[in-house]
Amino acid sequence: MTTGSRQVGTVIIGGGIAGIGIAYYLAEAGETSILVLEGNELASGCTQGSLGGVRQQFSTAPEIELALRGLEFWRNFEKDFDYPCPFYEDGYLLVTGREEVLNNLHAAADVQKRNGAPDVEVLGADQLRDVAPWISPVGLLGGSYTPHDGRFNPTDGLYGIARAARGLGVEIKEHTRVTHIEKHSDGWHVSATENYVAQRVVIAAGLATPHLVRPFGVELDITPLWLHCGYTTEVATGQGMPLTIDLDSGLIIERDGVGACVTVSDPRFGPEGAHRVMEEFATLAAVRAPVFSEVGIRTTTSAAFDATGGDGHAYVGEIEPGLWVLAGFDGHGTMQGPALAKMLSRMMAGLSDPVLDVAMFNPRRIVGGKDEWLRAARN
């Protein structure tokens, strides 16, 4: 053991929903000596960049199953964790003006209904204003709507899980960036501000994960997709505002208090793109949601989430004996992170998932074409 190294049972790298989630579930299962290392502050990475949307609308059975688990988790969060993080059942609306995309939404709705998500409705253009009175259907053919989906505040949720994890004995250290991981005869050597020797390590480091796993011959297609959000003054008072995504343009609108959170999700925008995004939003909203031409932008935020270029499924599993990965959620980490963390905790205990074939999440799998296509970005 390296001189001065501290011995730990499990080191978890990453203080987002995924890292804190796996720490909680391991501790809940009776594991001890669990240490979470976060390079900055809790929720400062991909969790910060999340819109907090929770939807059943996916196109493959595994993602629908994870979405249903996420929906149950966040609906019941306040009761289960005794921590303030309300779930706002505002609904979820995906719209399009392209016939092939609408046909795909119809097909996805059929898959959703066959896999336990019966609430989905495919609407014609003339029905969209029934659920979103502020929307202009000009140029649209229709959309897919789930009235019982919604949103929550990811930061509140993460701090609630962290409190529960600490209550079970988990130690969380912020501002402790991991620079190197190496296997030795006495365990995994983890180099950070302090040095640790762990019997096992979980890499749940979001965008930093590819760098940490590359020395072990694993290439993960995880890249930043920047999300620049504007928060508006009061708008559409008294009107329903489901979390709405225009799949053709990437325009996104969700309720935020008496105002709204607005953005355009498009890979063209980099880390300095906030001003351009707000200009793009104004142009798109003039057609899609003219009511927003009457409101101001109070403030903006910028963060990146973990886009994947693979099959659309996360990377979850063991890459070396005692070295595990939980990353690559394609922007769905706050929604599905707790469900995948629970699945991984079972895998680490040698238990199978009652529904999902965990092999499809193997970080070393050979990825072919896109499997899951429904994402919160321009399609």
Contact 196, 284 (CB under 8 A): no
The pLDDT of residue 378: 56
Pairwise CA distance, residues 105 & 261, whole Å: 24
Alpha-carbon Rg of the chain, whole angstroms?
21
Question: Of residues 3 and 25, which shows the higher confidence score?
Answer: 25
Name the percent of the chain in helix, strand, coil, to the closest 5. Answer: 30, 25, 40
Type of residue numbered 264: V
| Listed ranges 3-7, 48-52, 70-74, 304-308; the one with the highest mean pLDDT | 70-74
Tell me the average pLDDT across 215-242. 94
Residue 3 has pLDDT above 70, yes or no: no
pTM of the complete model beyond 0.85: yes
- Among 51-65, 109-123, 229-243, 357-371, the range scoring the smallest mean pLDDT is 357-371
For CA atoms 308, 310, 315, 319, the dihedral sign is negative
pLDDT of residue 376: 61
Confidence of residue 309 (pLDDT cuts 50, 70, 90): confident
pLDDT (0 to 100) of residue 367: 82
* Domain segments of the chain as ranges: 6-49+155-222+310-361, 90-148+223-308
Q: What percent of the chain has pLDDT over 90?
A: 85
Q: Is the pLDDT of residue 369 over 80?
A: no
Identify the residue with better confidence: 328 or 375. 328
Higher pLDDT, 98 or 118: 98
Average pLDDT value for residue range 176-183: 96
Q: Which CATH number is 90-148+223-308's, of 3.40.920.10, 3.90.1170.30, 3.30.9.10, 3.40.50.2020?
A: 3.30.9.10
| Cα–Cα distance, 223 to 305 (Å, whole number) | 8
**For the ranges 13-17, 46-50, 237-241, which has the lowest average pLDDT?**
46-50
The reported pLDDT for the residue numbered 377 is 56
Considering the four listed CATH numbers 3.50.50.60, 3.90.960.10, 3.40.50.12160, 3.20.20.330, the one that applies to the domain covering 6-49+155-222+310-361 is 3.50.50.60
Q: Which pLDDT does position 2 carry in this prediction?
A: 53
Give the tens place of pLDDT for each residue, 150-170.
Answer: 999 999 999 999 999 999 999
